[in-house]
Amino acid sequence: MAIQNPYADMMKYWSEARPQLASFDLNEAIAYGKRNAEAFSAAGQAFAESAQAIARRQVELAQAHVADTLKTAKALVIGSPESNTHRHVDWAKNAIETSINNLREVTELAAKSGFEVFDVLNRRATEQLEELTAAGKKAASAAATATTKKAA
């Protein structure tokens, strides 16, 4: 009774697949991962810078609101109740309008930030598609060459 090698089929497969595996470049795979990491790092940096800018602007807006409120409160102490009522209504109207405008400004900053981060990641995704297309063409060419050599 002859002993059969249980790995013979696997070894045959690997010997036939070797020309296709030869086209795999580990350095290119590492560079691919590095470019992805750099893109995510750039996106994170853009996000962090935008978040800081938004936070600074919110602090500026809050400080302006507090200063306006203190100024109005001091003005309300002086004067008759009738004139203070008119000032209070004007202040409330102005505060609401200012708050809405401030909210709009901060929302626009956040949207701009999101688009900047998206653009960084979108550029990398486009590059990835181009790289994968080129790698696919290279692998197909290598397979065709290996098949031609095998047939000859």
Q: What is the pLDDT of residues 21-55, one digit of tens each?
A: 555 677 888 888 899 999 999 999 999 999 999 99
Half-sphere exposure of 73 (CA within 13 A, CB side): 6
Query: Per the confidence metrics, is the pTM higher than 0.95?
Result: no
Give the 3-state secondary structure of residue 96. helix
Which pLDDT score, from 0 to 100, does residue 18 have?
A: 59
DSSP-derived secondary structure for 103-127: HHHHHHHHHHHHHHHHHHHHHHHHH
CA distance 29 to 135: 11
pLDDT range class, residue 14, cuts 50, 70, 90: low
Instruction: Answer with the residue of higher pLDDT: 143 or 127.
Output: 127
According to DSSP H, which parts of the chain are helical?
8-22, 26-77, 81-151
CA distance 22 to 89: 79
CA distance 2 to 34: 51
Structure-token pair, residue 60: 């500026």
Which pLDDT score, from 0 to 100, does residue 125 have?
A: 93
Residues 142, 19: contact at Cβ < 8 Å?
yes
Residues 124, 39: contact at Cβ < 8 Å?
yes
CA distance 44 to 89: 45
Structure-token pair, residue 128: 């990835």
